[in-house]
Amino acid sequence: MSGPKTGGVTILVVDDEPAIRRLLRASLTRVGYTVVEAGTAREALAALHIDKPEVVLLDLGLPDRDGLEMIPLIRTAGVAVIVVSARDATEQKVAALDLGADDYVSKPFDSDEVLARIRAALRHRLASETAVPVVYSGEVEIDLGARIVRRAGEEVHLTPKEYAMLAELAKSPGRVVTHSQLLKAVWGPGHESDVEYLRVAARGIRRKLESDPAQPQLIRNEPGVGYRLLGVG
């Protein structure tokens, strides 16, 4: 499966530091993205409606409004949000993701990492628009329509909770899904703090689908935050 195209895709970079905006502009335009910049929340909201970006790279430390307050406003417009912030506390990451951010990259960042997260966000948007029911990660095939998982072409039988967890991750390929989001979706309201349930299910998934469960290539644990489906084509 080919990755999303960069041509014609507009990225809105929201950061109050001109040097950061210049760095991101150089990295993004080099691979073909169109870049719009904003240094304040006010400018960002205006650009959101005028330039209609596909992805917003959002710093949380804006001078006129907390970036966390911006996430739901951006999501309402149907735009992917990737937080790029110096706030590195786990609580901040969880708060941003639970508010609807697609991903979180800590400063100082690697430009290639930012580009990879953008590609993942665009893949997720494309999958949502085209309702593709099959997700591939390496030799693993997750058929969401048929509720079947295969490894190297052979069907693998997961428990109901293992499948439900894997399916939730497959609906957001390449993106972090927080513990509370997974627990609410798989086990239901009231289980948002039962993180051990996730660890048990993740171990079962890895044991059945990974070549080496000790070196996972399918599901990555983001400590204190959530899980991410890796290797999505």
Compute the distance between CA of residue 105 and CA of residue 92 in angstroms, rounded to an integer.
Answer: 11
pLDDT value, residue 214 = 87
Compute the distance between CA of residue 106 and CA of residue 114 in angstroms, rounded to an integer.
Answer: 10
pLDDT digits (tens, 9 = 90+) for 57-98: 999 999 999 999 999 999 888 899 999 999 888 889 999 998
**The overall pTM is greater than 0.85:** no
**The pairing of beta strand 154-156 with beta strand 148-151:** antiparallel
pLDDT value, residue 174 = 86
**The pairing of beta strand 226-229 with beta strand 219-222:** antiparallel
Compute the distance between CA of residue 28 and CA of residue 22 in angstroms, rounded to an integer.
Answer: 10
pLDDT digits (tens, 9 = 90+) for 93-140: 999 998 989 899 999 999 999 999 999 888 777 666 555 578 899 899
pLDDT value, residue 141 = 95
Residue type at 53 in one-letter notation: P
- Tell me the domains of the chain and their CATH numbers: 10-129 (3.40.50.2300), 133-229 (1.10.10.10)
DSSP at 178: E
Which 3 state secondary structure label does DSSP give 184?
helix
Determine what percent of the chain is predicted with pLDDT higher than 70. 94
pLDDT at 1 over 50: no
